[in-house]
Amino acid sequence: MRLYNSLSRQVEEVKPVDERTVKMYSCGPTVYRYIHIGNMRSFMLGDLIRRGLRFEGQDVRWIMNITDVGHMTDEVTDTGRDKMELAVDDEGLTPQQIGQKYTDAFLADADLVGIERADLYPRASDHVPEMIEIIQKLLEKGHAYEVDGTVYYDVTTFPQYGKLSGNTLDALRAGHRQDTVADPNKRHPADFALWKKAGPGRLLKWPSPWGDGYPGWHIECSAMSMKHIGERFDIHTGGNDNKFPHHEDEIAQSEGATGQQVVSIWVHGGFLQMGGQKMAKSAQNIRRVTDLRDQGVDPLAYRLLCFATRYRSEMDFNWDALQGANERLTSIRKRMADWSKEPRPEPLSEGAQGFDRRFRDAVADDLDLPQAMVVLNELVSSPAVSGGEKYALLSLWDAVLGLDLMRLAREAWEPSEEINDLVRQRDEARSRKDYAASDAIRRRLIDMGLEVMDTAKGTRVRPSG
Ligand SMILES: [Zn+2]
Q: Tens digits of per-residue pLDDT, 101-127?
A: 999 999 999 999 999 999 999 999 999
Q: Among 17, 445, 444, which residue's Cα sits nearest to residue 229?
A: 17
Helix axes 128-140, 248-258, angle to 10 degrees: 70
Work out the pLDDT band at 181, boundaries 50, 70, 90. Answer: low
**In the predicted model, is pLDDT for residue 286 greater than 80?**
no
Q: From the CA of 417, how far away is ligand 1's center (Å)?
A: 52
Q: Considering only 14-18, 155-159, 211-215, 285-289, which range has the smallest mean pLDDT?
A: 285-289
Q: Considering only 40-44, 193-197, 380-384, 457-461, which range has the smallest mean pLDDT?
A: 457-461
Q: Considering only 146-150, 164-168, 342-346, which range has the smallest mean pLDDT?
A: 342-346
Cα separation, 81 vs 62, in Å, equals: 33
Q: From the CA of 432, how far away is ligand 1's center (Å)?
A: 48
Q: From the CA of 330, how far away is ligand 1's center (Å)?
A: 36
Q: From the CA of 246, how far away is ligand 1's center (Å)?
A: 6
The per-residue pLDDT for 278 is 54
Q: From the CA of 221, how far away is ligand 1's center (Å)?
A: 5
The per-residue pLDDT for 280 is 45
Q: From the CA of 286, how far away is ligand 1's center (Å)?
A: 22
DSSP 8-state assignment for residue 243: I
Q: Among 308, 210, 221, which residue's Cα sits nearest to residue 262?
A: 221
The per-residue pLDDT for 81 is 63
Distance of CA 119 to the CA centre of its chain: 11
The per-residue pLDDT for 154 is 97
Q: From the CA of 142, how far away is ligand 1's center (Å)?
A: 24
Query: Is the CB of residue 198 less than 8 Å from the CB of residue 214?
Result: yes
152: three-class secondary structure by DSSP: strand
The per-residue pLDDT for 166 is 92
Average pLDDT, the chain: 90
**In the predicted model, is pLDDT for residue 337 greater than 60?**
yes
Q: From the CA of 380, how far away is ligand 1's center (Å)?
A: 40
Q: From the CA of 224, how far away is ligand 1's center (Å)?
A: 9
Distance of CA 377 to the CA centre of its chain: 26
Q: Among 165, 128, 376, which residue's Cα sits nearest to residue 252?
A: 165
What percentage of the chain exceeds 70 in pLDDT? Answer: 93
Distance of CA 130 to the CA centre of its chain: 23
The per-residue pLDDT for 284 is 46
Work out the pLDDT band at 282, boundaries 50, 70, 90. Answer: very low
The per-residue pLDDT for 77 is 45
The per-residue pLDDT for 341 is 83
Q: From the CA of 225, how far away is ligand 1's center (Å)?
A: 9
Cα separation, 117 vs 43, in Å, equals: 11
Going by C-beta distance under 8 Å and a sequence separation of 6 or more, which residues neighbour residue 296?
Answer: none
The per-residue pLDDT for 281 is 45
Q: From the CA of 26, how far away is ligand 1's center (Å)?
A: 7
Q: From the CA of 389, how far away is ligand 1's center (Å)?
A: 43
Q: From the CA of 28, how far away is ligand 1's center (Å)?
A: 7
**E-strand spans in 55-169?**
59-64, 144-147, 150-153
Q: From the CA of 218, how far away is ligand 1's center (Å)?
A: 6
Instruction: Give CA separation, 387 vs 327, 335, 339, 341, in Å.
Output: 20, 9, 5, 9
The 8 Å CB, 24+ separation contacts for 11-18 are 11/366, 12/264, 12/265, 14/53, 14/58, 14/234, 14/235, 14/265, 15/234, 16/58, 16/234, 17/232, 17/233, 17/234, 17/264
Work out the pLDDT band at 76, boundaries 50, 70, 90. Answer: very low
Cα separation, 82 vs 456, in Å, equals: 43
The per-residue pLDDT for 75 is 43
Q: From the CA of 222, how far away is ligand 1's center (Å)?
A: 8
Work out the pLDDT band at 295, boundaries 50, 70, 90. Answer: confident
Q: From the CA of 239, how far away is ligand 1's center (Å)?
A: 10
Q: Stretch 27-40: mean pLDDT, rounded?
A: 91
Q: From the CA of 176, how far away is ligand 1's center (Å)?
A: 24
pLDDT tens digits, residue range 189-239? Answer: 899 999 999 988 788 899 999 999 999 989 999 999 999 999 999 999 999
**In the predicted model, is pLDDT for residue 445 greater than 70?**
yes
Q: From the CA of 128, how far away is ligand 1's center (Å)?
A: 15
Q: From the CA of 64, how far away is ligand 1's center (Å)?
A: 9
Q: From the CA of 24, how far away is ligand 1's center (Å)?
A: 12
Q: From the CA of 67, how far away is ligand 1's center (Å)?
A: 8
Q: Among 142, 152, 150, 138, which residue's Cα sits nearest to residue 213?
A: 150
Q: Stretch 151-159: mean pLDDT, rounded?
A: 97
The per-residue pLDDT for 276 is 56
Q: From the CA of 209, how far away is ligand 1's center (Å)?
A: 24
Structural domains for the chain: 2-269 (3.40.50.620), 277-410 (no CATH), 414-463 (no CATH)
Q: From the CA of 454, how far away is ligand 1's center (Å)?
A: 37
Q: Stretch 59-65: mean pLDDT, rounded?
A: 98
Question: N- to C-terminal Cα distance for the chain?
Answer: 31
Q: Considering only 36-50, 106-120, 173-187, 200-214, which range has the smallest mean pLDDT?
A: 173-187
Question: In terms of pTM, does the model score above 0.85?
Answer: yes
Pairing status of strand 150-153 against strand 144-147: antiparallel
Q: From the CA of 236, how far away is ligand 1's center (Å)?
A: 9
Query: Is the CB of residue 450 less than 8 Å from the CB of residue 464?
Result: yes
Q: From the CA of 115, how far away is ligand 1's center (Å)?
A: 18
The per-residue pLDDT for 177 is 60
Q: From the CA of 267, how far away is ligand 1's center (Å)?
A: 12
Classify residue 93 as exposed, middle or buried by CB count within 10 Å of its CB (0-12, 13-18, 19+): middle
